[in-house]
Amino acid sequence: MKTNRKYFILTIMALSVFAACKKDDSSTPNYNADKAELNKLIDSATNVYNSAVEGKQAGQYAVGSKADLNETIDLAKQVSTGTTYTQQQVDNSVANFERSLTAFYSRQIQDVSVENLMAYWKFSGNAGDSSGNGNDGMLKSGIIGATPVDGGVLPQLTSDRYGNANMAYKFDNGAYIEIPYKASLNPKSFTISLWVKRGETFSDNYMVSLDRWNGFKFQLQSNNFLFLTLSKDNGINDVDSNPASVPQDDWTQAAVSYTNGSMKFYVNGDLKRTVAITGTPITLPTPINLCIGQQLPKDKFSFTDTSDPNYYWGPSYFKGSLDDIRFYNKALSDAEVLSIYTMESYK
């Protein structure tokens, strides 16, 4: 952004020079310049200016961008309405104006690693996937209790962190969202970013799970630390975000990433813990659907055979609200995680 800002300033300076300069007295200048292209560019840029919105969300422009563009437009108008500009000066003004517009467009905030975004559950009234990859969720009632029973309720739409009704999901009594298994949701590197508003403290507050410790699970533990369990070709790792925790009844952005050599935890865009871990996440030998808010799909539990990898050892489900869950097939950089927080924390 600093480079683009600098270029804006240089462009404005160049336009100012063209607005002020005249040919020397040794020749008679021709001021019958064709300004049609310049005027067309002014009209186009004015429309862009009027429709552009500054802010922190994807599609918006960095704060200050419009003021720079407006100054460029004003200088171009001076050339357009002036009567002492040669064709060369007008052409130079057009060239600089086009470069200035290019710099302005480059200041539009882009979503993070769109090509690596495998799923994006915005929960804007439903559990559909906004990434375009078709990983739509299904609302389910789940298993609860030391003696297993169906909780009998579905996730309920609730208000998001801005107070907008029906724009997040509340989970309790084992309710969960189930997403059909795809290999793209079982990658070798990944990042999960979400917004969480936890209810009570619960030692097995599962947020996102792909076959529990047989694949991976992202949850809150008894101290409300973020907690990732990951099964790899060289063993299983359980790692938490200690000392960073998630407060009760307060919307918080939480993220975790893994790539061979590094696991990272983030809270509200800030890197809180990095752990050196090696190994390649396994590909599930038997596909199991991804769960949001539960440990396993309820039809996959074994209730009798303790040697079964899907044996029901007790209740593990989320209590609270979740929103804006992103799943990437790469470990995002610290800057990218911060960009997500910046975009999503701004209404």
Domain that includes residue 53, residue range: 2-105
Per cent of the chain over pLDDT 90 is 81
Residue where a domain stops, chosen among 85, 105, 125 = 105
Tell me what pLDDT residue 224 has.
96
Per cent of the chain over pLDDT 70 is 92
Tell me what pLDDT residue 190 has.
98
- Using alpha carbons, select from 61, 86, 72, 59 the residue that is nearest to residue 9: 72
Residue where a domain stops, chosen among 105, 125, 151 = 105
- Using alpha carbons, select from 180, 227, 188, 186 the residue that is nearest to residue 204: 227
Structure confidence at residue 189 as a pLDDT band (50, 70, 90): very high
Same domain membership, residue 91 and residue 9: yes
Q: Is the pLDDT of residue 306 over 70?
A: yes
Same domain membership, residue 205 and residue 88: no
Same domain membership, residue 224 and residue 335: yes
Tell me what pLDDT residue 226 has.
98
Q: Is the pLDDT of residue 2 over 50?
A: no
Give the model confidence (pLDDT) of 28-56 as tens digits. 788 889 999 999 999 999 999 999 999 87
DSSP of 163-182, one letter per residue?
A: --TTSEEEE-TT-EEEE---
Tell me what pLDDT residue 8 has.
52
CATH of the domain at 54: 1.20.1270.90
Give the model confidence (pLDDT) of 208-245 as tens digits. 999 999 999 999 998 999 999 999 999 999 999 999 99
Structure confidence at residue 11 as a pLDDT band (50, 70, 90): low
Q: Is the pLDDT of residue 185 over 60?
A: yes
**273 vs 26: which has the higher pLDDT:** 273
Question: Which residues are within 8 A (CB) of 44 and not within 5 positions of it... i.e. 6 or more apart?
Answer: none
Same domain membership, residue 81 and residue 139: no
- Consecutive H or E run containing 242: strand 235-245
Same domain membership, residue 145 and residue 47: no
- Using alpha carbons, select from 80, 91, 78, 284 the residue that is nearest to residue 186: 284
The shares of helix, strand and coil residues in the chain, as percent rounded to the nearest 5, are 25, 30, 45
Average pLDDT, the chain: 91
Tell me what pLDDT residue 109 has.
82
Tell me what pLDDT residue 122 has.
98
Same domain membership, residue 126 and residue 193: yes
Angstrom distance (rounded) from CA 218 to CA 225: 11
Burial letters 251-265, b for 16+ CB under 10 A, else e: bbbbbbbbbeeebbb
Alpha carbon distances (Å) from 244 to 9, 223, 251, 267: 42, 10, 15, 7
- Using alpha carbons, select from 115, 346, 324, 311 the residue that is nearest to residue 207: 324
Same domain membership, residue 289 and residue 202: yes
Query: 323: which strand partners?
Result: 195
pLDDT average, residue stretch 99-114: 88
Q: Is the pLDDT of residue 79 over 90?
A: yes
Same domain membership, residue 339 and residue 226: yes
Residue where a domain stops, chosen among 71, 105, 139 = 105
pLDDT average, residue stretch 311-334: 96
Same domain membership, residue 96 and residue 120: no
Domains: count for the chain: 2
CATH of the domain at 141: 2.60.120.200
Q: Is the pLDDT of residue 176 over 70?
A: yes
Give the model confidence (pLDDT) of 139-149 as tens digits. 999 999 999 99
Q: Is the pLDDT of residue 93 over 70?
A: yes
Give the amino acid at 318: F
Angstrom distance (rounded) from CA 44 to CA 11: 18
pLDDT average, residue stretch 199-216: 94
Tell me what pLDDT residue 263 has.
98
Tell me what pLDDT residue 63 has.
82
Same domain membership, residue 265 and residue 173: yes
Same domain membership, residue 100 and residue 184: no
Same domain membership, residue 201 and residue 66: no
Q: Which letter does DSSP use for residue 283 in this model?
A: P
Tell me what pLDDT residue 216 has.
98
Tell me what pLDDT residue 303 has.
95
Tell me what pLDDT residue 13 has.
46
Question: Which residues are within 8 A (CB) of 171 and not within 5 positions of it... i.e. 6 or more apart?
Answer: 155, 293, 317, 318, 319, 320, 321, 322
